[in-house]
Amino acid sequence: MADIKAFIFDLDGVIVFTDKFHYLAWKQMADSMGIYFDEEINHRLRGVSRMASLEIILERYEGEPLSEEKKEELAAYKNSIYVELLRSMTPEDCSQEVRDTLDELRRRGYKLAIGSSSKNAPIILEQLEMGDYFDAVSDGNNITKSKPDPEVFVKAAEFLGLPPEECLVVEDAEAGIDAGNGGGMQTAAIGDAVNCGKGTYNLTTFADLLDICK
């Protein structure tokens, strides 16, 4: 394997946990349409784009067929709730372990980037006061295909000026690991992604990244 020169991190579920905000926002949208929604369904939405998530929720919809315009309206309604909830985030929502690990990786000379399908990545980084931690940000605002397509990570590598094989993707979702592997990158699985068995490395804690690159 090529030497790693950069780390590309998924945002939600890796750097910070926003699942609770997604759940509350989707729940409010689903309730407005009389659609059953619970934590198990919400779990299926991890690493999935906004519109693809909506389609999963609509599997339980029993009303008249919805137009694409109505679907866009529902997705926008969910996002407006989610963004409002994000405004309650503070720098403390990112753990000290994550910050210390990022600091040490930078001290060792590695480049750091975000690779997130979320269009709200800038808001999250602003709330966490973490914009300065990353050399590049590739997110839902500059891609046309969501994970498991590798586009978001390929663009992150381009922004860093590095070939994919010199980048390691850190992901908590199988779709993200598939995207990293598909982009020709090394991958580190954390959280639920460990169970898929597709990562180059499996992490027990975020700080384990320091053992990969001693």
**Catalytic entry in 12, 139, 149, 178:** 12
Among 16, 78, 87, 20, which residue's Cα sits nearest to residue 50? 78
Q: What is the DSSP string of the chain?
A: -PPP-EEEE-SBTTTB--HHHHHHHHHHHHHHTT----HHHHHTTTT--HHHHHHHHGGG--SSPPPHHHHHHHHHHHHHHHHHHHTT--GGGS-HHHHHHHHHHHHTT-EEEEE-S-TTHHHHHHHHT-GGG-SEEE-TTS-SS-TTSTHHHHHHHHHHT--GGGEEEEESSHHHHHHHHHTT-EEEE-GGGGGG---SEE-SSGGGHHHHT-
Has 149 been annotated as catalytic? no
**Catalytic entry in 10, 139, 149, 178:** 10
Among 208, 181, 204, which residue's Cα sits nearest to residue 191? 204
Has 10 been annotated as catalytic? yes
d(CA 118, CA 52): 12
Q: Count CB-CB contacts under 10 A for residue 27.
A: 19
Which residues have a catalytic role annotated? Answer: 10, 12
